[in-house]
């Protein structure tokens, strides 16, 4: 029995290799950026198809429009072919083909001529960010509309405009993807990210990008302890649909879950706890974040706003936290055309990927430790302690002794990491040394003296 370092990419264990992951994720995001995703429709399917090329075991599911999921109904599928506004000269002044944010998500079809006053009622812009095209949706109330920069809006003159929105609703499907990776145990680690936003980079492509990279990496692990469930869903209606279909299994098996969103920008990490704040997901995340970035932002449950709203809803109560960099709603580029490929970076994506690897490595190695010898072992006879009394006890000897003193069968690796101030990744070699010398035993369940 040995604990395992997991955090090197398969066949690319050098630092350069790791940096390549960031570049690779960034290139995926670049490819996916132009697609017009929504909570249903072709954009979702194209995105899933792209991910399936990276991890072929990704399985796609389709849930028909009209299906009832808890209090909700899967909406009609929405697809859009073209949309524009032309001025009196027939010049396209707003064109969906330039930027898919120009049309509000789930906009109904419209064709006609309108004067400026009427047009204005269907326009959305952000006066305090004059160059940004806002991202607006109206999933459950039929309406049509365009989004544009406030700068452009102010230039519109009182004239007759020709408007086209060539969109359609029909009985179709809500699509989502799922990757299941079996481990030794039926206990699962759950990772969720969403694929329902059109051309925005941090929110949303950073989350799925890192989730698919993690999936590929986890598949490469030899004999993981946990089983893994990674899903790519539309937000809210998708997580509800997924819960509706899988709630029993999830409640029975999920040990820790992570909602990945807004995790590709260069700003500091942030964390949103589960509703109870006391799950294994909270514990492992806080442990990792404390060592990786002491200044990370810790939000509380009142700040929630993504799929943890469903995962931690009363009666569902899954142990799910959100790990982010700049939290949704909290950065100025959020939900606008400013959240573009320049907001995220290969370096940030790589770091976030490693952060998640660290968390998974902690969980995979999170054994309860129990000393096999009463009293302190005689470490110097094993060369693990200086024989001369005045030799200072170096930090690594101190760490070994500190791990031993907390190996009481009740503290797990993360507890010990918290107590002695050493990251779990640095404890792996120490525990292995103690196992090698038969000084401790490890188990997945507490085993008090």
Would you list the DSSP string of 412-437?
A: EHHHHHHHHT--HHHHHHHHHHHHHT
Q: Which stretch binds a second copy (CB under 8 A): 167-175, 182-190, 223-231, 236-244?
A: 236-244
In the bound state with a second copy, the residue whose beta carbon lies nearer, of 13 and 73, is 73
In the bound state with a second copy, the residue whose beta carbon lies nearer, of 220 and 380, is 380
Name which of 404, 403, 402 is nearest 375 in CA terms: 404
Q: Which stretch binds a second copy (CB under 8 A): 56-64, 135-143, 176-184, 256-264?
A: 135-143
Number of residues that bind a second copy (CB under 8 A): 61
Based on the number of CB atoms within 10 Å of its own CB, is 294 exposed (0-12), middle (13-18) or buried (19 or more)? Answer: exposed
Can you tell me which of 123, 210, 211, 240 binds a second copy, judged by CB under 8 A? 240
Q: What span, in angstroms and rounded, lies between the C-alpha atoms of 77 and 105? A: 12
Nearest approach in angstroms of CB 183 to a second copy is 28
Q: What span, in angstroms and rounded, lies between the C-alpha atoms of 364 and 286? A: 16
Per-position x/- string for 278-297, each x denoting binding to a second copy as judged by CB under 8 A, each - no binding: --------------------
The structure tokens listed for 154 are: 């102010």
Can you tell me which of 108, 236, 253, 345 binds a second copy, judged by CB under 8 A? 236
In the bound state with a second copy, the residue whose beta carbon lies nearer, of 139 and 299, is 139
65-84: contacts with a second copy (CB under 8 A): 69-73
381 binds a second copy per the rule CB under 8 A: yes
169-208: contacts with a second copy (CB under 8 A): none
294-353: contacts with a second copy (CB under 8 A): 301-302, 304, 309-310, 312-317, 335
Q: What span, in angstroms and rounded, lies between the C-alpha atoms of 166 and 95? A: 12
Would you list the DSSP string of 266-323?
A: SS--EEE--SSS-SHHHHHHHHHHHHH-TT-EE--GGG--STHHHHTSTTT---EEEE
Which are the contacts of 72, defined by CB distance < 8 A and separation ≥ 6? 237, 240
Nearest approach in angstroms of CB 355 to a second copy is 27
Per-position x/- string for 399-438, each x denoting binding to a second copy as judged by CB under 8 A, each - no binding: ---x-xxxxxx---------xxx-----------------
Q: What span, in angstroms and rounded, lies between the C-alpha atoms of 376 and 32? A: 57
Q: Which stretch binds a second copy (CB under 8 A): 138-146, 219-227, 287-295, 425-433?
A: 138-146
The structure tokens listed for 117 are: 């006053």
Q: What span, in angstroms and rounded, lies between the C-alpha atoms of 74 and 27? A: 32
Can you tell me which of 373, 426, 443, 444 binds a second copy, judged by CB under 8 A? 373
* Alpha carbon 56 to chain centroid, angstroms: 20
- How do 146-147 and 123-124 pair as beta strands? parallel
In the bound state with a second copy, the residue whose beta carbon lies nearer, of 62 and 300, is 300
Residues that bind a second copy (CB under 8 A): 69-73, 104-105, 124, 134-141, 143, 236, 239-240, 243-244, 247, 275, 301-302, 304, 309-310, 312-317, 335, 370-371, 373-378, 380-381, 387-390, 402, 404-409, 419-421, 449
């Amino acid at each position: 029995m040995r604990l395992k370092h997991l955090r090197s990419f398969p066949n690319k264990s050098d630092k350069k290799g790791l940096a390549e992951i960031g570049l690779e994720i960034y290139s995926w995001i670049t490819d996916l950026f132009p697609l017009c995703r929504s909570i249903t429709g072709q954009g979702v399917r194209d995105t899933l198809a792209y991910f399936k090329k990276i991890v072929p075991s990704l399985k796609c599911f389709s849930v028909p429009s009209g299906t009832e999921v808890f209090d909700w109904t899967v909406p009609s599928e929405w697809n859009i072919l073209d949309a524009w506004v032309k001025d009196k000269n027939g010049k396209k002044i707003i064109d969906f083909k330039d930027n898919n944010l120009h049309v509000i998500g789930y906009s109904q079809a419209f064709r006609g001529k309108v004067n400026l006053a009427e047009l204005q009622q269907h326009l959305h812009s952000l006066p305090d960010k004059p160059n940004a095209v806002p991202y607006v949706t109206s999933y459950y109330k039929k309406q049509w509309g365009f989004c544009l920069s406030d700068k452009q809006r102010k230039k519109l003159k009182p004239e007759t405009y020709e408007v086209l929105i060539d969109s359609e609703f029909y009985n179709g499907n809500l699509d989502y993807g799922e990757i299941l990776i079996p481990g030794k145990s039926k206990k699962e680690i759950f990772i969720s990210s969403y694929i329902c936003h059109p051309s925005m980079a941090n929110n949303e492509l950073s989350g799925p990008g890192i989730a698919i990279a993690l999936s590929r990496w986890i598949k490469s692990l030899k004999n993981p302890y946990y089983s893994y469930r990674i899903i790519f869903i539309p937000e809210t209606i998708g997580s509800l649909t997924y819960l509706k279909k899988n709630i029993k299994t999830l409640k029975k098996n999920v040990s820790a879950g992570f909602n990945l969103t807004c995790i590709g920008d260069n700003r500091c990490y942030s964390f949103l706890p589960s509703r109870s704040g006391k799950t294994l997901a909270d514990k492992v995340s806080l442990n990792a974040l404390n060592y990786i970035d002491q200044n990370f932002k810790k939000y509380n449950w009142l700040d929630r706003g993504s799929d943890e709203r469903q995962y931690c809803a009363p009666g569902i109560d899954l142990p799910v936290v959100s790990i982010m960099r700049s939290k949704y709603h909290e950065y100025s580029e959020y939900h606008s055309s400013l959240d573009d490929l320049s907001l995220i970076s290969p370096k940030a994506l790589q770091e976030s990927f490693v952060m998640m690897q660290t968390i998974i490595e902690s969980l995979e190695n999170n054994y309860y430790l129990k000393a096999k010898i009463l009293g302190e072992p005689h470490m110097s006879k094993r060369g693990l302690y200086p024989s001369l009394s005045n030799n200072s006890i170096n930090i690594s000897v101190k760490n070994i002794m500190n791990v031993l003193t907390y190996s009481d069968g009740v503290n797990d690796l993360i507890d010990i990491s918290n107590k002695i101030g050493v990251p779990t990744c640095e404890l792996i070699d120490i525990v292995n040394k103690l196992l090698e010398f038969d000084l401790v035993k490890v188990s997945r369940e507490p085993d008090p003296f």
